[in-house]
Amino acid sequence: MMDLYPALVDEDRRLSGHDRKLAQIVLDDVDFAIRSTIGELAARAEVSPPTVTRFCRRIGCAGFSDFKLQLARMNYVGLRYLRPEVPTTSAAEVAEDIVAKAQNALFQLHQQLDPVVLDRAAQVLRAADFILAFGSGGNSSMISHELHNRLFRLGCRIHSSNDRSMDLMLSAAVTPGTVTVVSSMTGLDADLVRCLDLMRQQKVPTIALTQSGSPVALAADIPITIDLPEGRNIFRPTSTRYAFLAAVDILANLVAYADRQRATVFLRRIKEELVRSRDGDDRQLLGD
């Protein structure tokens, strides 16, 4: 169930000769590729059918039918995004592109998540007396904010910080009973690694949302790893944020379910306060 897209664009030039030609033809006209038989596709690429089968195998499919199936899947999600070189500029194109990439990021997140790890993280969070959430630099700071936003509602005592200097001081001052969650999309934040080391010295459990194998992931007790392909478009800061956000979402839900009663109490209280302070419409969201 691998994603075809990276294999097709073949950034690292692993495909050769006819395979590259085939990939190009498929990318140029996905609908054709989906509808055609192996013979038709082979003819368009001026190769033999077996070459097409082999091509499908090389890019990770079981065969040509499987290839078409996967292509159909991918295509539905909005395959306009298979044209990286052609800069999309119209509003409709940009919208389609971003939505497709976001959905794709969520899809890949879902593939990568390990329920066991998530459960463990949720349990640790649930048991914490106090939670620290670290994340700096736009994207990860959004994540740590969001963790705060979600967990305080469940009755968790939590502080979120986006300030690397503060993070270090907070880490130096942690006390048992604390649990720390850090977020780093690259996993290369050296300060964050230092924080995690300090935590470990104090036996404070740490959860990291980050790339697998990265320094941050290695320094954390419970790494929740999310690996997504880098975007090449510098105007677009990757759709990784959607995946991270979903990870927080899932985590917060699991924490809520771990003690449903307690969570309900707090959520009700918050909701009542919101309804009171606004015009009494109780369809209100929990915090706009």
Partner DNA sequence: CAACACAAGAAAAATTATTACACGCAGGCT
Partner DNA sequence: AGCCTGCGTGTAATAATTTTTCTTGTGTTG
Please report, as ranges, the residues that interact with DNA according to CB under 7 A.
16-19, 37-39, 46-51, 53-54, 56, 62-66, 68
Q: Considering CB distances under 5 to 8 angstroms, the limit depending on partner class, which of a second copy, DNA, none binds residue 64?
A: DNA
**Edge-first strand listing for the sheet containing 178-184:** 158-161, 130-134, 178-184, 206-210, 222-225
Question: Which of 14, 110 has the CB closer to a second copy?
Answer: 110
Nearer to a second copy, 13 or 283 (CB): 283
Residue with smaller CB distance to DNA, 25 or 99: 25
Which H or E element spans position 217?
helix 215-219
List b or e across 84-117, with b for residues whose CB sees 16 or more CB atoms inside 10 angstroms.
Answer: eeeebeeeeeeebbbebbbebbbbbbeeebeeee
| Contacted entry of a second copy, DNA, none for residue 113, CB cut-off 5 to 8 Å set by kind | a second copy
Q: Phi and psi (nearest 5°) for 220? A: -95, 155
Closer CB to DNA, 43 or 258, in the complex? 43
Which of DNA, a second copy, none is residue 83 near (CB under 5 to 8 Å by kind)?
Answer: none
Part of the chain binding a second copy (CB under 8 A), chosen from 8-16, 38-46, 184-192, 197-205: 184-192
* Residue 51 touches which member of a second copy, DNA, none, C-beta under 5-8 Å by kind: DNA
**Nearest approach, Cβ of 197 to a second copy (angstroms)?**
17
Contact between 278 and a second copy by CB under 8 A: the answer reads yes
Shortest CB 280 distance to a second copy, Å: 10
33-42, long-range: CB < 8 A, 24+ apart: 33/68, 33/71, 34/68, 34/71, 34/72, 34/75, 38/64
Q: What minimum distance in Å lies between the beta carbon of 42 and a second copy?
A: 17
Instruction: Give the sign of the dihedral formed by CA 266, CA 272, CA 273, CA 275.
Output: positive
DSSP letter string over 99-161? HHHHHHHHHHHHHH--HHHHHHHHHHHHH-SEEEEE--TTHHHHHHHHHHHHHGGGT--EEEE
Residue 17 binds what, of a second copy, DNA, none (CB under 5 to 8 Å, by partner type)? DNA
Closest Cα partner for 151 from 32, 256, 240, 245? 256
Query: Which x/- pattern over 119-138 shows residues binding a second copy (rule: CB under 8 A)?
Result: x--x------------xxxx
Residue 209 interacting entry, from DNA, a second copy, none, C-beta within 5 to 8 Å by type: none
Confirm or reject binding of residue 186 to a second copy (CB under 8 A).
Answer: yes
